[in-house]
Amino acid sequence: MARNIAVLGTGAIGSSIAADLTRAGYDVILIDQWPAHVEAMKANGLRVTMPEEEFVAPVRAFHLCEMKDLHRAPPRQLDLVFLACKSYDTTWLVEFIKPFLKPDGVLVSTQNSINDEWIIPIIGRGRDMPCVVEVSAEVFEPGLVRRNSDRAASNFWLGEHDGRITSRLQEVAQILSSVGQTHLSTNIWGAKWTKLMFNSMRATPRAVLGALRQDMRHNPELLDLETKIGREAAQVGTALGHALEPILGLTPEDFRGLTDELFRKVLLSAVGGSDRSVLGHGDGATSMIQQDILKGRLTETDYLNGLIARKGREAGLPTPANEAVAAVMRQIAEGELQPSLSNLRILQEYMSGKKAMA
C-alpha cells in the first residue's frame, strides 16, 4: 500500500514523523503552508534535535502551490497521508489533498481532537484511519524541530472504525514504528476520547492561567478545575457510548469507580506528578502560549474544551468547566484578557453561574 507517502502539515508532530520516515527510507513528501519553513527544508534539510540525538534529514518539501506539479504525467497519487495540521485547518486541507489520495488510499489524522468526524464526510469512512499520538515536540524556527520525547517514549495508537485488526492497519503501524512505539486498538474511539480528556484538562486551562506544571501540583484550586474538566469529558464520552481506553500509561483499574479523589490521583501521577509526564517532556501551557497566543494565532480550544461542551449539549449533560475555559480563551484571543492566574476567579464565577459567559 505505502509506496507514496505524504505528511501534510509539518509543524512539530508532522516534522517529527516526516524526518524519521525519510531516514527509514520511505518515499515521503512534506507539504506545508509556512513558506519560510518549506524554503529552509529545501535548502538545508530538516534538522531534528532529540534528548540523545541530533540529525538532519534531506527531505523533499513542497509549498501548497507546488502540489499542482504532481498532476503532471505520469500522475503521482498518494497511498498514505499523515495529516498533522491544527484542527481548525483540517477540512480545507483534506479537501486540498483529496484529489491526490488514491481511491484505496488512507489518511491518518495525527492530530488532537476528534477530527475524523469532519474528515469522513470529505474522503469517506473507508479512507480514514483514526489515530492517537503521544509525541512531545516543538517548532519555533524554520527547518528545525525540537523533539522532547525520544522514540521509546513516543507512542501511536491506531485503529479501524469497526475495531477490526486489518492488514492495512498493521502496515501503517509498521511504518510508524520508525517514529515511535505503535499499538493496535480495537477501541480507537475510546482511546481518542481519553486523549481528548487529557488534552482538555492539561494544555488549555494552563494556557488560560499562564500556569506551569508545578503550579498544578501545589495549587488545589487549579487541580480542582482540571479535575472538573476531565470528569466532564469522561462523562460526555461515556454518555455518547465510548468506553474510555486506558492509554497514556493508565490501566483499566484507573477507570473503575472513578471518584473525584481517585481522578485527582490519576491526574497528578499521569499528567503532572513527575518530570516526565505521560504526554511528554514539554509543558502544554508554554507551547500554547508561545506558539499560539503570543503570535496571535488561533488555539485549538474550540476543538478541545469547546468540542466537549458541544458534545455535552448533544448528550444533555452540563459541562460548565469546559464551557468556562473556552469562554475565557475566546476573551484572550480577542485581547480582552491575558493569560494569568487571576483568570481563575473568572472561571470560577462562570462555573458557579455568578457571571454570564461571554
pLDDT of residue 280: 41
Contact status, residue 247 vs residue 191, Cβ threshold 8 Å: yes
All cell numbers assigned to 212: 506551569
Residues of the chain below pLDDT 50: 73-75, 271-285
Helices (H), the chain: 12-23, 35-44, 90-97, 116-123, 167-176, 188-209, 213-218, 220-239, 260-267, 284-288, 305-315, 320-333, 343-352
Domains of the chain: 5-186 (3.40.50.720), 190-352 (1.10.1040.10)
Find where cell 500556569 sits. 211
Cα separation values, 310 from 10, 88, 114, 250, 323, Å: 29, 16, 13, 26, 9
pLDDT in tens, 143-188: 999 999 999 999 999 999 999 999 999 999 999 999 999 999 999 9
Give pLDDT, residue 266.
58
Q: In the prediction, which pLDDT does 216 show?
A: 67
In this prediction, residue 276 carries a pLDDT of 37
pTM for the full predicted model: 0.91
For residue 72, give the C-alpha cell: 503532471
Task: Give the full edge-to-edge strand order of the sheet including 155-158.
Answer: 131-134, 155-158, 181-184
3-state secondary structure of 145: strand
Dig out the grid coordinates for 292 from the structure: 499560539
How far are the Cα atoms of 24, 97, 175, 218, 308 from residue 78, in angstroms, in the given order?
Answer: 18, 9, 15, 49, 33
3-state secondary structure of 338: coil
**pLDDT computed for residue 223 by the predictor:** 86
User: Is residue 95 classed exposed, middle or buried when 0-12, 13-18 and 19+ CB atoms within 10 A define those classes?
Assistant: exposed
